């Protein structure tokens, strides 16, 4: 079962499923994400860090964060999932409201025990917009989104974030290098030389930690980065080159496969 809000700059879902999965459904999006885990038994893999949240936890992800979820049992997995673009927020408050998504140690923060802050009420308030007529729905969505983000900011300032399982220091260094050098012509050969590891061992360590290969990780990261540039007004070909795609046809195919739309369509609606 589920309830949904689907708009150009925001997607909001409430759902319950009870079918275990064998692996992490990994992906990377060009927008901010909030997952409110109400109940069940799941694991989240976020940029190589694994979280096993308790009921009534939230997980925050900044644009371009590679992540996925694995349902560990047949218990009801109940959650809210929110995806939004920063354009919905007031310019004067945007930086403050988005600050929890950066975190102290990377682009993800897990909060536990959020029921003590009545956080579910904020999600329900946002979901109520789905049942309102226009233009009231359009006017209230940004207001209620900012109220939710304000409460998340309050929790972050009170320091209740929870840690993830330890990450391989080697993989952490590799991921940091990849994210700082997206536009460079990175290959397994060059990474092997950079980190003094064989190509097979490097890719093994990386996949063991992140759930995916170096190549797939780079493609998702570059597509998310290109999407951000296109939404800022950059032509698709220029964005592709800037984030490290040497071949536009390969970029076009990857972009459409990952985001479900073409880069030219994104440019026309930006």
**Token reading at 93:** 């408050």
Instruction: Give me the chain's average pLDDT, please.
Output: 90
Q: What percent of the chain has pLDDT over 70?
A: 95
Instruction: Answer yes or no: are the C-beta atoms of 57 and 112 closer than 8 Å.
Output: yes
pLDDT of the residue at 68? 93
The CATH number corresponding to 169-269 among 3.40.30.10, 1.10.10.60, 3.40.50.970, 3.30.360.10 equals 1.10.10.60
**Per-residue confidence (pLDDT) for residue 227, from 0 to 100:** 93
Residues of the chain with CATH 1.10.10.60: 169-269
CATH number of 2-162: 2.60.120.280
CATH 2.60.120.280 residue window(s) in the chain:
2-162
pLDDT of 53-108, one tens digit each?
A: 999 999 999 999 999 999 999 999 999 999 999 999 998 999 999 999 986 555 55
The answer to whether residue 252 scores a pLDDT higher than 70 is: yes
Give the residue carrying structure tokens 């012509």: 185
Alpha carbon distance 169, 158 (integer Å): 28
The CA-atom distances, in angstroms, between 3 and each of 37, 79, 125, 130, 171 are: 16, 11, 13, 8, 38
Burial (CB count within 10 angstroms: exposed 0-12, middle 13-18, buried 19+), residue 189: exposed
- Residue 196, by phi and psi: left (phi above 0), alpha (psi -120 to 50) or beta? left
How much is the pLDDT for 165? 73
CA nearest to 32, candidates 66, 63, 67, 9: 63
Asked whether the predicted pLDDT for residue 193 surpasses 90, the reply is yes
How far is it, in rounded angstroms, from Cα 154 to Cα 151? 5
Report the pLDDT value the prediction gives residue 179, as an integer from 0 to 100. 93
Q: Is the pLDDT of residue 253 over 80?
A: yes
pLDDT, position 269:
73
Looking at residue 104, what is its pLDDT? Answer: 53
Could you read off the pLDDT of 258-269 as tens digits, one per residue? 998 999 888 777
What does the angle CA 40 – CA 1 – CA 67 come to, to the nearest 5 degrees?
50
pTM higher than the cut 0.75:
yes
| CA 159 – CA 145 distance, rounded (Å) | 22
């Amino acid at each position: 079962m589920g309830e949904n809000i689907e708009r150009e700059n925001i997607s909001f879902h409430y759902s319950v499923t009870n079918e275990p999965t064998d692996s992490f459904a990994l992906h990377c999006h060009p927008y901010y994400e909030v997952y409110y885990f109400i109940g069940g038994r799941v694991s989240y893999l976020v940029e190589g860090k694994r979280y096993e949240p308790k009921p009534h936890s939230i997980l925050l992800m900044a644009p371009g964060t590679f992540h996925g979820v694995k349902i560990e049992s047949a218990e009801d997995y109940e959650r809210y999932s929110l995806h939004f673009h920063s354009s919905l927020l007031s310019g004067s408050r945007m930086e403050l409201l988005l600050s929890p998504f950066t975190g102290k140690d990377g682009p993800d923060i897990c909060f536990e025990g959020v029921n003590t802050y009545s956080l579910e009420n904020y999600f329900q308030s946002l979901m109520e917009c789905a049942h309102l007529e226009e233009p009231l729905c359009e006017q209230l969505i940004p207001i209620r989104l900012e109220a939710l983000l304000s409460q998340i900011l309050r929790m972050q300032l009170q320091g209740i974030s929870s840690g993830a399982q330890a990450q391989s220091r080697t993989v952490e260094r590799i991921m940091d290098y990849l994210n700082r050098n997206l536009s460079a012509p990175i290959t397994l050969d060059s990474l092997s030389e950079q980190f003094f590891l064989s190509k097979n061992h490097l890719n093994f360590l990386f996949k063991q930690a992140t759930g995916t290969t170096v190549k797939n990780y780079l493609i998702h990261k570059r597509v998310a980065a290109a999407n951000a540039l296109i939404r800022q007004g950059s032509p698709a070909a220029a964005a592709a080159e800037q984030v490290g795609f040497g071949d536009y046809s390969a970029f076009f195919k990857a972009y459409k496969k990952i985001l479900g739309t073409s880069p030219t369509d994104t440019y026309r609606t930006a």
